[in-house]
């Protein structure tokens, strides 16, 4: 008898488990793991007493934005100061717009990301409870031009980059440089896209953000189909 005992005779159990895992839509797996990653980040920044706002770049139908509102509401007992967090969601609500050649990707297409600002506002209002939130429509190259201070944002507690391309992630992270502090959590969806290249997509934008902001970051966790979470561990200058 092998060391695995009866398990070697129960191939049908392995087959049932495998068939189930193979059947589940990868987008569902990704979103569930994203929800857990966001929950952990809200928790970690709550117990570290990190003050400031939540900024999500790439809101689409509002699923992760509403999830973050719920996570924060559920942590208020642990840290009542969290009720000062304001939630900002940035999106064109019209997809990616015109992409440069380097940002072209087989999946990042406008037809996959059509949505309506009104519908997302309604959803966020339902999830927010007493928390403050605001959706800022427009392509980042325009909507972020005025700078964080003009939108009333002085510090970022959590930054969530979920807009897929280099240009959009670069606009978002450049906007965040003046409001990033030690302990800011940065959630990067699609971190390994563009065939894993570090010279493209969100990975490139994040490297440039660290360099231009003078930040050191430590990896916290990975999630879903290529998501990564970092915490800003040091500000060099
Ligand atoms: C993957 S979806 C976001 C998903 C969302 N965070 C969730 O989990 O529910 C990407 C979104 O980024 C937005 N986006 C991409 N490039 C953009 C840009 N340059 N300016 C504004 N929004 C952009 C698209 O409109 C799309 O809604």
What pLDDT, in 10s, does the model give residues 8-19? 778 888 899 999
Helix (H, G, I), strand (E, B) or coil at 202: helix
CB of 58 within 6 A of ligand 1: the answer is yes
The pLDDT value given to residue 52: 98
Rounded to an integer, what distance in angstroms lies between the CA atom of residue 64 and that of residue 7?
39
Task: Give the Å distance between the CA of 130 and the centre of ligand 1.
Answer: 25
CB of 64 within 6 A of ligand 1: the answer is yes
- Residues with Cβ within 8 Å of residue 189, at least 6 apart in sequence: 34, 58, 160, 161, 162, 164, 202, 224, 226, 227
Pull the structure tokens for residue 52.
Answer: 């400031």
The pLDDT value given to residue 19: 97
Ligand 1 pocket: which of 35, 39, 55, 59 to mutate (most atoms within 8 A of CB): 59
The pLDDT value given to residue 183: 98
Whether 135 and 120 have beta carbons less than 8 Å apart is answered as yes
Say what angle helices 117-128 and 63-74 make with each other, to 10 degrees.
Answer: 10
Q: Which residues of the chain have pLDDT under 50?
A: none
The pLDDT value given to residue 1: 62
The pLDDT value given to residue 100: 86
- How do residues 61-80 score in pLDDT, each as one tens digit? 999 999 999 999 999 999 99
Does the domain at 25-235 match CATH 3.40.50.150? Answer given as yes
Pull the structure tokens for residue 58.
Answer: 């790439």
What is the DSSP code (8-state) at residue 106? Answer: S
Place of tokens 């570090």: 198
Instruction: Please tell me the residue having the least CA distance from ligand 1 atom 25.
Output: 95
Task: Give the Å distance between the CA of 206 and the centre of ligand 1.
Answer: 17
Whether 180 and 206 have beta carbons less than 8 Å apart is answered as no
Rounded to an integer, what distance in angstroms lies between the CA atom of residue 69 and that of residue 61?
14
The pLDDT value given to residue 2: 74
Say what angle helices 201-213 and 166-176 make with each other, to 10 degrees.
Answer: 20
Whether 158 and 54 have beta carbons less than 8 Å apart is answered as yes
Instruction: Please tell me the residue having the least CA distance from ligand 1 atom 13.
Output: 58
CB of 163 within 6 A of ligand 1: the answer is yes
The pLDDT value given to residue 112: 72
The ligand 1 atom nearest the CA atom of 61: 9
Rounded to an integer, what distance in angstroms lies between the CA atom of residue 99 and that of residue 136?
21
The pLDDT value given to residue 106: 82
User: How many Cα atoms are found within 13 Å in the side-chain-facing hemisphere of 27?
Assistant: 3
């Amino acid at each position: 008898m092998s060391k695995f005992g009866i398990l070697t005779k129960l191939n049908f159990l392995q087959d049932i488990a495998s068939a189930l895992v193979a059947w589940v839509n990868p987008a569902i797996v990704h979103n569930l793991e994203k929800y857990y990653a966001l929950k952990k980040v809200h928790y970690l920044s709550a117990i570290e007493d990190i003050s400031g706002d939540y900024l999500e770049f790439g809101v689409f139908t509002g699923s992760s934005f509403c999830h973050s509102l719920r996570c924060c509401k559920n942590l208020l007992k642990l840290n009542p100061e969290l009720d000062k967090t304001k939630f900002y969601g940035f999106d064109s609500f019209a997809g990616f717009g015109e992409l440069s050649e380097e940002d072209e990707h087989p999946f990042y297409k406008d037809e996959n990301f059509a949505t309506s600002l009104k519908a997302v506002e309604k959803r966020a209002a339902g999830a927010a409870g007493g928390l403050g939130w605001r959706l800022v429509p427009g392509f980042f190259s325009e909507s972020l031009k005025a700078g964080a201070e003009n939108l009333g944002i002085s510090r970022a507690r959590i930054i969530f980059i979920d807009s897929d391309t280099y240009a959009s992630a670069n606009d978002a992270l450049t906007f965040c440089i003046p409001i990033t502090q030690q302990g800011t959590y940065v959630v990067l969806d699609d971190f390994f896209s563009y065939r894993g290249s570090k010279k493209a997509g969100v990975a490139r934008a994040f490297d440039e953000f660290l360099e231009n902001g003078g930040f050191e970051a430590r990896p916290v966790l990975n999630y879903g189909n290529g998501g990564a979470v970092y915490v800003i561990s040091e500000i060099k200058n």
